[in-house]
Amino acid sequence: MKPTLYVAVHHGALLDLWRAQGARALRLCHVDAHCDLRGLLVDPARDRAAARGLSAPDNGNFLAVAAAEGRLESLRWVWPRWGGRARDVGTVRRLGDPSALPVRLGVSRPDWFPFRYVDMREERFSGRLEEGEHLDVDWDFFATREGPLEGLRDRVARFLALPLTPTPPAIYLAHSPPYSHPTAPRFEELVRALSARFDADVVRLPDPPRVPRVPTLTTRARWAAEGWLHRRGFF
């Protein structure tokens, strides 16, 4: 059966789609400069996670909310060289992080739930999907404002040259204009390429009923400081 390609302006629209579908225990390959898991603590060694300071859904935490609601069973995050936890704007926490010391010492006891988490830089991604795994792509993986615009076509071409097999049950593609260079025509080229590649029907998702949250300068400065500390082993 051919998959559906869901196209969204804002990535957080996927949460509304999954809620409407009553989705449960999805497996997701998340190709994105950002994890979209802010507010989640993960323990990869034991395939579990816990919500820690999870706020109302927005573009930066909708996957954490989906996981806490039982809509995601596993997530493999593939990030470009200008992405990853060290550069993320409010990122997923690992149990081994210094900030999780109270949990490791038993001072804080979160409510764990089953969740498999893996992250990898793009060079480690073979393009092979797990059986039944959904493919989720954010345009900022190729065109993030944190990286160069030069070479955009080559980055997209390298991705499309990957096998991306077996065919995923569904494909999600988000434009994310606040986080990407203004490259709408190139984004639409990728929509057409993925639709042709998988012979997929294209469904355009409406924007979420809530206003997508774009971080304020103060919030982004705080997250940048956290990233600086994390890269130096303090966070």
**What pLDDT shows up at residue 210?**
63
Nearest partner of 11 among 33, 36, 29, judged by Cα: 36
Query: Each residue's pLDDT tens digit in the chain (235 positions)?
Result: 899 999 999 999 999 999 999 999 999 999 999 999 999 999 999 999 999 888 899 999 999 999 999 999 999 999 999 998 888 877 999 999 888 888 888 888 899 999 999 999 999 999 999 999 999 999 999 999 999 999 999 999 999 999 999 999 999 999 999 999 999 999 999 999 999 999 999 999 998 776 455 556 665 665 566 656 555 555 4
**What pLDDT shows up at residue 235?**
47
CA dist., res. 57 & res. 212, Å (int): 9
The sign of the torsion formed by the CA atoms of 126, 66, 92, 83 equals positive
Cβ-proximal residues to 147 (8 Å cutoff; 6+ apart), any chain:
33, 80, 81, 82
Cβ-proximal residues to 133 (8 Å cutoff; 6+ apart), any chain:
27, 28, 29, 76, 168
